[in-house]
Structure 1
């Protein structure tokens, strides 16, 4: 297993600490959770950077990276549902998209990396979850929810882009 794949796998180690801290929501633990979440999210960039830099892009990495991303995003969102911070149906839309794309990828001949829409989706989810985890004053409640709904919208848009057939660019393909 390559170094980038180990880094991807290490993201999973932060999830139990994140979940524990979210269920014990003192302001201090919420800041710790935010730190754990952001460090785990930054490793998403780091593993991709190292895979390209070290020429260690692998089929395992292409499969493992989005799977770990999904777990890192969905685990805190499920807790945030329980804590009443986000509506379940919004998280269900995210989960539905993630399952649909995972199923779609399994049926592809080759596993492709994320496109720009998938990357925007991931960044928007990280920002939204970070804002929702942080022990911010009440005045931040609406901006946090707006960030959440923007991430839901980008999640659905990126899913539709993955599933829609590519447009043809040649005259022969349209005949």
Structure 2
């Protein structure tokens, strides 16, 4: 495995996950609750920026790799799942919404893996709905991690919860969108291979 700039940025994103989670567990004589909120939100924001930066670097520098293509979505899902679990534990996010978002990520990841196996990965490529979902999701997570006044007249808990509901709605919408695209392939009879581990 050779390290290039995009892959290095992805590893940095993964390394930042325990950092922003750990901030909220520090004793209050180390960081006050307000300082924890600002520090955690900033670390998460930096991690989110690396998600854009590694894709940009891969395209601009032509440094894409099979390992990077595998690691990037793993890092994204770990980051989102860690933030949601933390927010549910702190009672800032609804557990049902967290389950919907994480459950969708698992389902679509499995779908994309299966579609890649049959050579149809482009059929479930990220579309506009998926990008809107990601934008709403990041807005929600950053606002709920911050939980402090930011713009005058806009309470971040309210902004975060509204954005999380929007993200959950777009999550369900995008999941059915991808399933609709994949259905012609899913509905085809598949040959039974006796020694396959995933035979059901």
CA contact (8 A) 2:24 2:40 kept: yes
Q: Which residue of 1 aligns with 2:40?
A: 33
- Residue 187 (structure 2) pairs with residue 156 (structure 1): no
1:114 match: secondary structure: coil
Q: 2:80 aligns with which of 69, 73, 93?
A: 73
- Of structures 1 and 2, the larger Rg is shown by 2
TM-score computed with the length of structure 2 as normaliser: 0.76
Aligned residues of 1:23 and 1:79 also touching (Cα < 8 A): no
The Cα of 1:134 is off from its aligned counterpart by 0.8
Question: For this pair of structures, how many residues does the alignment match?
Answer: 168
From 140, 144, 147, the counterpart of 1:132: 144
Task: Return 5+ residue gaps in structure 1 as ranges.
Answer: 169-175
Cα RMSD, aligned residues only: 2.2
Q: 1:76 to 1:45 in 2, by over 3 A?
A: same
Select the residue among 15, 18, 21 that pairs with 2:17: 15
| Kept in 1: contact 2:104–2:175 (CA 8 A) | yes
State the TM-score, normalizing by the size of structure 1: 0.86
Bigger helix fraction: 1
* Structure 2 unaligned blocks of 5 or more: 27-31, 185-200
Distance change in 2, residues 1:78/1:57 (3 Å): same
With 105-114 and 115-124 compared, the bigger mean Cα shift is at 105-114
